Amino acid sequence: MKILVCVKRVIDYNVKVRVKADQSGVETANVKMSINPFDEIAVEEAVRLKEKGLANEVVVMSAGEGAVADVLRTALAIGADRAIHVNTGVQLQPLAVARIIGSIVGRENPDLVILGKQAIDDDANQTGQMTAGLLGWPQATFASKIEIEEGTATVTREIDGGLETLRMPLPAIVTTDLRLNEPRYITLPNLMKAKKKPLEVIDEADLKLDLAPRLEVISVRAPEQRQAGVRVPDVETLIDYLKKFAATA
């Protein structure tokens, strides 16, 4: 079985994001970037499936400009076998990414496509679903457990009321949630090995896809600062504050 994993380069989750002065987006210049955390979980799960003998190859892909190669090398260091970089300067939105993934699926013919449920930069939570729609494949989102057996995938997914278990035939799309696994620590030897693994670069023009943006960002604003709290001397005073708050709410 071949597994294709899709990853995205985003602002590192430890960085405090700053909005641009013109509110057109967030500052990315001289900001630490890293692999999207949900996508890192997807890579880890694919590698674990290979280690269990359920897959014989893990291919990782991403789309963007040259710096995307950094997150692909990270995925290779986790344990992916080879990487595909779709080189493009187009501002990619979920539908465009789904079309790129669909095109790579046509080239690679994977049995399973795994990606994070969402990227932490836009929180769109659309790419996996759109990819499944374009391919006409079954999908299971928000996966907290994946089991592969005899051409089927059994996925436990997190929903508002608890857990839901789905069984679907392969090929299929799965998007990962936080509780699926904890990605392994990447050692220096594995980082060195990742530099020698194949990384294929495909120009976006060669795919002949319509990647034009469908959405326009009107403005981006930082959340309002929270007011400072008030320390009260006793429970009775706290109750008085709560009553006054409830009366004005």
Q: Where does the pLDDT of residue 226 fall: very low under 50, low under 70, confident under 90, or very high at 90 and above?
A: confident
Tell me the average pLDDT across 165-190. 94
User: Rounded to an integer, what distance in angstroms lies between the CA atom of residue 46 and that of residue 114?
Assistant: 8
Q: Which residue has the higher pLDDT, 77 or 230?
A: 77
Q: Where does the pLDDT of residue 108 fall: very low under 50, low under 70, confident under 90, or very high at 90 and above?
A: very high
Give the chain's domains with CATH numbers.
2-222 (3.40.50.620)
Percentage of the chain lying above the pLDDT 70 cut: 100
Q: Which residue has the higher pLDDT, 21 or 52?
A: 52
| Spatial contact of 67 and 97, defined as CB atoms under 8 Å apart | no
Percentage of the chain lying above the pLDDT 90 cut: 71
Q: Where does the pLDDT of residue 26 fall: very low under 50, low under 70, confident under 90, or very high at 90 and above?
A: confident
Average pLDDT over all residues of the chain: 92
Q: Where does the pLDDT of residue 244 fall: very low under 50, low under 70, confident under 90, or very high at 90 and above?
A: confident
Judged against a pLDDT cut of 90, whether residue 217 lies above it is answered with no
| Spatial contact of 22 and 69, defined as CB atoms under 8 Å apart | no
Window from 2-11, 37-46, 131-140, 236-245 with minimum mean pLDDT = 236-245
Judged against a pLDDT cut of 90, whether residue 17 lies above it is answered with no
Tell me the average pLDDT across 51-75. 94
Q: Where does the pLDDT of residue 4 fall: very low under 50, low under 70, confident under 90, or very high at 90 and above?
A: very high
Tokens of 33: 């970037």
| Spatial contact of 79 and 193, defined as CB atoms under 8 Å apart | no
Judged against a pLDDT cut of 70, whether residue 249 lies above it is answered with no
Q: Where does the pLDDT of residue 90 fall: very low under 50, low under 70, confident under 90, or very high at 90 and above?
A: confident
pTM (two decimals): 0.85
User: Rounded to an integer, what distance in angstroms lies between the CA atom of residue 128 and that of residue 134?
Assistant: 10
Q: Where does the pLDDT of residue 23 fall: very low under 50, low under 70, confident under 90, or very high at 90 and above?
A: confident
Give the burial class of 196: count Cβ atoms within 10 A of its Cβ; 0-12 exposed, 13-18 middle, 19 or more buried. exposed
Nearest to 62 by CA among 43, 81, 85, 80: 85
Judged against a pLDDT cut of 70, whether residue 134 lies above it is answered with yes
Task: Write the pLDDT tens digit of every residue in 141-165.
Answer: 999 999 999 899 999 998 888 899 9
